Copies of this chain bind each other. A is one copy, B any other.
Amino acid sequence: MDSIKPEDRRKSSETFKEFLAQKGLRVTNQRTAIFDAVFNQEDHFTAEDLLDFSREIDRSVSRATVYRTLPILTEGGLVKEIDVGRDYKFYLANRGQKTEQAQVICLDCEKIFEIEAPFMEWYARSVAQKVGLEPVSQRLQVHARCIRLKEGGSCPNRESH
């Protein structure tokens, strides 16, 4: 449906080179492949997913380099790291969404939705204030079920949401 325009991807790729240069990091084929793989994805992906995607671009990418590159991307704000309490993490290309987003995890289809949560920062601040602390970041996760599927049957993972 809404795939990424090649021009956007190219532009992002330029940004990435600048990003690396600016941090004194070298531009390598592997890092570029990983970066491109990240921004090919519309949805959440795991490190292992990313290894596969990256290898479709550059066969030589290794698991170690994926795991080494992800922190660079997340700390640089290019990728969002999401931990919903499983024993592996999810990642998401950061295309400049709002910071006030919650994760709604459907218990029926396991899908994760990034949903705007207005005033979340303000709300978190009001909570943290109670112990004399100042928020640096906050996250809200909601585990939920389809309103429709009250009884048996799986969640319509497709267009339903």
Contacts and interface: CB of A to CB of B under 8 A. Distances in A.
A113 B131 contact: yes
Given A127-B102, A127-B142, A160 B135 contact: no
Contact of A123 (B104, B107, B123, B136): B123
Interface string A73-117: 000000000010100000000000000001010110000010111
A124 interface: yes
Contacts of A10: none
A135 B124 CA distance: 19
A67 B83 CA distance: 22
Given A85-B83, A106-B133, A133-B104, A127 B147 contact: no
Secondary structure at chain A's binding surface: helix, strand, loop or mixed?
Answer: strand
A24 interface: no
Given A83-B85, A123-B123, A116 B130 contact: yes
A161 interface: yes
Interface in A106-161: 106-107, 113, 115-117, 123-124, 127-128, 130-148, 160-161
A83 B130 CA distance: 21
Contact of A133 (B130, B131, B141, B146): B146
A49 to B, nearest CB: 19
Given A115-B131, A132-B146, A133-B145, 7 more contacts: A104-B131, A113-B131, A117-B123, A123-B123, A132-B148, A133-B147, A134-B145
